[in-house]
Structure 1
Amino acid sequence: MQKKSKFTSIDRRADITYKEFVDQYQKKGLPVILANITDAWADPQIFTPEYLRKNFGDRTGNHPTHKYTVAELLDLTEKATFDNPAPYPVKFMVKSTLPEMVPHMQPLDLNFIRPNWLKSKLLKNKLGNGDMDLHIGGAGNSYEMHKDTYDVHAWLIQLYGEKEVICFPWDEEPLMYPRKGGLLESRSPIVFTNPDYDKYPNFKKATPIKGKLKAGEVLYIPGGMWHTTVAYQQNMSTIINQVNETNYHAWKRDVYVYKAFHNKLKGAIDYAAATVIGNVCRIGQLFGAKY
Structure 2
Amino acid sequence: MIPNTTYDKKKQPTIAKIDKVSNITQLELIKNYIEPSIPVIVKDATKEWKGMGKFTPDFFKKNYSHITKTIKGKTYSISEYVDLMLASTPENPAPYPFNFNIEKQAPELLADVTPEILYAKSDRVKHPLLPKFMLNGTEVYEIFLGGNGGSFPFLHVDVLFLHTQITQLYGSKDFFLFSPDQTPYMYPREDNAKVSQVDVFNPDYEKFPLFKKANPIKVTVEEGETILFPTKWWHTTQIHEPCISLGRVHLNAANWNDFANDNFLSLQTYRPTVARPALLYAKMLGKLMNLQERIGL
Q: Residue 45 in 1 paired to residue 19 in 2?
A: no
Q: Is the 8 A contact 2:177 2:218 kept in 1?
A: yes
CA drift at 1:276: 2.2
Is the contact between residue 40 and residue 110 of structure 1 (CA under 8 Å) also seen in structure 2? no
1:131/1:252 CA distance change after superposition, 3 Å: closer
Task: Determine whether 1:248 maps to 2:259.
Answer: no
Deviates more, 1:13-22 or 1:57-66: 57-66
* Greater relative CO (CA pairs within 8 A, separation 6+): 1
C-alpha contact (below 8 Å) 1:38/1:110 kept by paired residues: no
- The range that moved more, 89-98 or 36-45, is 36-45
Deviations 1:152-195 (A, max 9, x none): 111011110011011111100111111123xx211112111111
Aligned-partner Cα distance in 1 for 2:13–2:36: 13
Give 1:286 deviation, angstroms: 4.2
Query: What's the secondary structure of 2:92's corresponding residue?
Result: coil
**Are the aligned partners of 2:30 and 2:120 in contact in 1 as well (CA < 8 Å)?**
no
Two-structure CA RMSD over aligned residues (Å): 2.3
Q: Corresponding residue for 2:127?
A: 120
* Contact 2:148–2:240, Cα closer than 8 Å, also in 1: yes
Counterpart-to-counterpart distance in 1, 2:217 and 2:167: 18
Which residue of structure 1 aligns with residue 5 of structure 2?
none
Q: Summarize the Cα distance change of 1:60–1:113 in structure 2 as closer, same or farther, 3 Å threshold.
A: farther
Within a 5 Å distance, the mapping from 1:5-44 to structure 2 comes to 5=14, 7=16, 9-44=17-52
Give the Å deviation of 1:206: 0.5
Quote the offset at 1:271 in angstroms.
1.7
Structure 2 partner of 1:158:
168
In structure 2, do the counterparts of structure 1 residues 118 and 219 end up closer, same or farther at CA, with 3 Å as the change threshold? same
Q: Give, in angstroms, the shift of residue 121 of structure 1.
A: 2.4
With normalisation by structure 2, the TM-score equals 0.87
Partner of 1:67: 75
Aligned residues between the structures: 285
- What one-letter code is carried by the residue in structure 1 that aligns with 2:170? Y
SS in 1 for 2:93: coil
Partner of 2:142: 133
What's the CA shift for 1:42?
Answer: 3.7
Q: TM-score under structure 1 normalisation?
A: 0.89
Q: Which moved more, 1:164-173 or 1:260-269?
A: 260-269
Q: Which residue of 2 aligns with 1:194?
A: 202
| Unmatched segments (≥5 aa) in structure 2 | 1-9
C-alpha distance in 2, partners of 1:250/1:71?
39
Unpaired stretches in structure 1, ≥5 consecutive residues: none
Task: Output the CA distance in 2 between the equivalents of 1:4 and 1:287.
Answer: 29
Q: Does 63-72 or 165-174 show the bigger shift?
A: 63-72
- SS of 1:191's partner is coil
SS of match in other structure, 2:143: strand
SS at match of 1:54: helix
